[in-house]
Chain A
Amino acid sequence: MGLSLDASIALVALAPFLAAILAPFIHRLAGSYSAWILAIAPAGIFMLLIRLGEPVVGGGTIAAAIDWVPSYGLTLAFFLDGLSLVFALTIAGIGALIVLYAGAYLKGHPHQGRFLGYLLAFMGSMLGLVLADNMLALFMFWEATSITSFLLIGFDHNRQAARRGAIQALVITNIGGMCLLVGVILAQHLSGTWLLSELRGLEGVLKESALYVLVLALFVGAAFTKSAQFPLHFWLPNAMEAPTPVSAFLHSATMVQAGVYLLARMTPVLGGTDVWTGLLVAFGGVTLIWGALGALKETDLKQILAQTTIASLGLLVLLIGLGSEAAIAAMLVYFVAHACYKAGLFMVAGAVDHGAGTRDITALGGLADKMPVSFIGAALAALSMIGLPLTVGYFAKEEMYLALVGGGWAMWLVLAVLVTGNALLAGVALVVMVKPFLGDALPVPKSPHEAPVAMLAGPILLGGMGVVAGLLPDWLGHDVLAPGATAILGHGVEPHLTLALDLASPLIWLSALTWLLGIVVFRQAYAIRTVLRRLSAGLGWNADTVFDAVMFGLIRFAASVTRFLHHGKLEHYLVLVFVVLAVALFWPMLALGGFDWIVPTADLGDWSKRLVLPDLRPYEWGVVLLAVLGLAAVLIAQSRLIAILSLGIQGTALALIFLLFGAPDLAFTQLMVEILSVVILTIVMTNLRLDARDHRPFEDWARDGTLAVVCGAGVSLLLMLVLSGALDTRLSDFFTATSVPIAHGANIVNVILVDYRGFDTLGEISVVMGAGIAILALLRRRKKAEGVGP
């Protein structure tokens, strides 16, 4: 192999992001051919994965790591085993077809380059997700898929429905993302490793922990939101507001399967317990039936497909919950089958929309003549979805029945759910295949015409895959099923798929029953739809309306909290600030017994005799007198202007004290601050056009006065307390001793500011600038409100 392993695997995860950044530029240069150029990235990754996958098929794994944060022992580790290979190949393979499809679907759209960029970025996140070994990297890629899918669903952001669908998907999947983050951190805490590959070796650690149920709930919560399990399924149909290529890619074979991937990946460490099986089988089963019935209720092709995707996701979760060898094998085969036929069907739905101008099945009919290739694509996909022999879907169905036949009553119940669900899905598949294409031609908005090659390549290739793979059970069993199942279960699994029909086995009769019921459902589709619509109308609300109510309530709650905290009354803000200051000053002193230090105790005798005047020089007395005079002037001044100036006098006296006692830097700064604050206060005062005099009612005056005295006393007492103890001079000794030799500066204050604690200063000057911007914003807003200036 030409490339080193590290480089190759990193390339798989990073190349799509590079392509995503380049996409808009390539689109500007190459125009409508850009999709063909950009499809090289996923296609190349697909080929690379096939080459990398050779040892994996034999049962091995490939691991590679790049240092990430070495000081915390974190590595950006990737690994490739049977499970990740199946997912990665699906993502890259379908990704290449989708990029081509999107090029044709959005032909001439002004933002096509951006769209292709989002699509490729999503693909990179998804590949990273299934290849990540480090759980934190897994989380990052998981969130990246949520964000890129938000951008893709909301691509048509001028429509309110698209924006709403995008926000809904983001909110729901991000709740899961937060669950995953906490779950991952807990798992690391319990096991001591960030690496999934190491975690797999520590089988009992999580299961035997007291926190097992919590960890399980977090991971399952993450998977259920992403994989749209009931009752969190409702975001997926709304995400159909996305352009069709997005639905075909994200909402069939990739993003929504991330939850399935996570559950399969965690099976060795979390699976096999009663809680696990109960949770997954129950929710999976309900989701299966709910989605299948939901599909029958809809008439829009994309909505129908979205609902069947929910059903299929439920089925996959159910199979993982069962966890037996046959169930896991069925899960993998069904995943491959579903990825092929569902992506294909979505692309056909887009082609029908493109050709006929509508996606409503009640308005479509007889398109097979005008759109023969699309019809073939739809038929191939639908056959696999029904699960007829010679398709991959058939094996998937056989395997899942095999997993259940011969169990206890609970297994028979699950089997009944599976047969019902599969029959409903088969009925939907017939509806999707037959209704638009066969029968009488109906008048449609556009004159029906076949879609361009780039839009047909996907359905035909994927539909063909579904059949070809079905004809090669040995390859399917050996190269897909066995390595994948081995990776999930942790022990070797032998493939046993065969084309032969064994009429003595109950499996074939269960399949026949499924088909029969499917035909019944198809015949009665109209009646079922009517009944379901009446039922849901009678209910009056659904998960969607609940979501809206919750979001609306959240916004109202946030607004009321904001109104409560930010009432806009400066006077109250100031009172609050100073009350808190007073509490912060006095409480520690009271709690820690600080007063005992300051207030002289009885054994000192008559303390009033010990009071002496400090020994100051005359000019020092002069400065102190100046400060006191300034203060007195502030208190007795009638005019605000005089009060401000007197405050400046008091501050200047303080600066002089600093100067006399050997702190010239402090004195300098104090002086400048005093000057500027007098100037600014004066300007603000005249600006606000306040009365020259201060007319406060007595109660305000008393409140402000009390607060001022309390805060002032608090600061004074605290300073006395600090000075009464022995000053710890270790730091100042260090600075004095080292300032010149190691920091080359004699001014310790400045050296501390710009060198020893430069990082603090960097933060402070950023705050200074931020405060300046805020003040300017406030001033400009006021000017605007007054209608003065810009």
Chain B
Amino acid sequence: MNTVIFRTAAPLIVATMLVFSVYICLRGHNEPGGGFIGGLIGAASIAVFGMASGVPAVRRALKVDPLAIAGFGVLLAGLSGLLSLFIEAPFMTSIWLYLDLGETVVPLSTPMFFDIGVYFVVFGTLSAIALALESDREEDL
């Protein structure tokens, strides 16, 4: 599997997949996509990266432990729900903010942060599992 072609092409594929995963995550509110599917694509890219460059390289590139990313996701999703307490509304009431940047209007919302949290959870958990499995194999073989 570790052919030169794969190792050369892998970084390109990984980068494309990662960007695409973020795009899928962010557009999810109005078009097919969302945090869950985005996270899956991201995790798949990490799995590919691990196969091509070896797990230690991926861990170095990620800087943080993938499980910590997942934990941050749960935290972010939970906190986005807590924001509604400041407007004296029940937990997880969505709040919308439309930023007018002249040409376009950027909608920011608590569900968006929630979805980003979902992305991190799925991305982090699956990457952690994939990397653990791959490193296991490396040490075995």
Contact = CB atoms under 8 A, between A and B. Distances in A.
Interface size class of A (residues with CB under 8 A): 35 or more
A746 B33 contact: no
A668 B34 CA distance: 10
Contact of B33 (A747, A758, A776): A747
B92 A759 contact: yes
A762 B77 contact: yes
Given A672-B44, A680-B133, A762-B78, A744 B96 contact: yes
Interface stretch (A197-205, A412-420, A767-775): A767-775
A675 B139 CA distance: 24
B125 A768 contact: yes
Interface in A95-117: none
B81 interface: yes
A773 B129 CA distance: 9
Contacts of A668: 24, 32-33, 37
A561 interface: no
A282 B68 CA distance: 61
Interface string B84-107: 000000011010100000000001
Interface stretch (A53-61, A78-86, A637-645, A683-691): A683-691
Nearest to B136: A687
Main SS class of interface, B: helix
A358 B91 CA distance: 60
Nearest to B118: A765
B121 A769 contact: yes
Contact of B36 (A675, A753, A772, A782): A753
A766 B137 CA distance: 28
Nearest to A788: B139
Contacts of A765: 73-74, 77, 117-118, 121-122
B134 A744 contact: no
A765 to B, nearest CB: 4
Given A769-B70, A769-B74, A686 B29 contact: no
A680 B129 contact: yes
A751 interface: yes
A652 to B, nearest CB: 14
B19 to A, nearest CB: 16
Contact of B81 (A749, A762, A768, A772): A762
A594 interface: no
Contact of B133 (A664, A673, A684, A745): A684
B114 A768 contact: no
A664 B32 contact: yes
B137 A686 contact: yes
A632 to B, nearest CB: 27
A766 B122 CA distance: 10
Interface string A756-790: 00110110011011011101100110110000110
B125 A771 contact: yes
Interface residues of B, number: 52
Interface in A139-169: none
A664 B114 CA distance: 21
B126 A783 contact: no
Contacts of B94: 743-744, 755
Contacts of A6: none
A768 B140 contact: no
B41 interface: yes
A708 interface: no
A753 B34 contact: yes
A676 interface: yes
Given A683-B137, A746-B30, A772 B74 contact: no
A754 interface: yes
B110 to A, nearest CB: 9
A776 B67 contact: yes
A679 interface: yes
A665 B32 contact: yes
B128 interface: yes
Contacts of A783: 136, 139
Contact of A772 (B24, B77, B114, B125): B125
A675 B126 CA distance: 13
A749 B31 CA distance: 10
A680 B130 contact: yes
A668 B70 CA distance: 21
Contacts of B47: 676, 679
16 contacts: A683-B133, A687-B137, A744-B96, A746-B30, A753-B115, A754-B111, A754-B118, A765-B77, A765-B122, A772-B126, A775-B132, A776-B67, A776-B129, A783-B139, A788-B139, A788-B140
Given A750-B29, A755-B114, A783-B136, 17 more contacts: A669-B40, A676-B43, A679-B47, A680-B129, A680-B130, A683-B133, A687-B140, A745-B29, A747-B28, A747-B32, A747-B33, A754-B111, A761-B114, A762-B81, A765-B121, A766-B74, A783-B139
Interface of B: 24, 28-37, 40-41, 43-44, 47, 67, 70-71, 73-74, 77-78, 81, 91-92, 94, 96, 107, 109, 111-112, 114-115, 117-118, 121-122, 124-126, 128-130, 132-137, 139-140
Give the 5 A-B residue pairs with the shortest CB-CB distance, closest first.
A772-B125, A672-B40, A664-B32, A745-B29, A746-B30
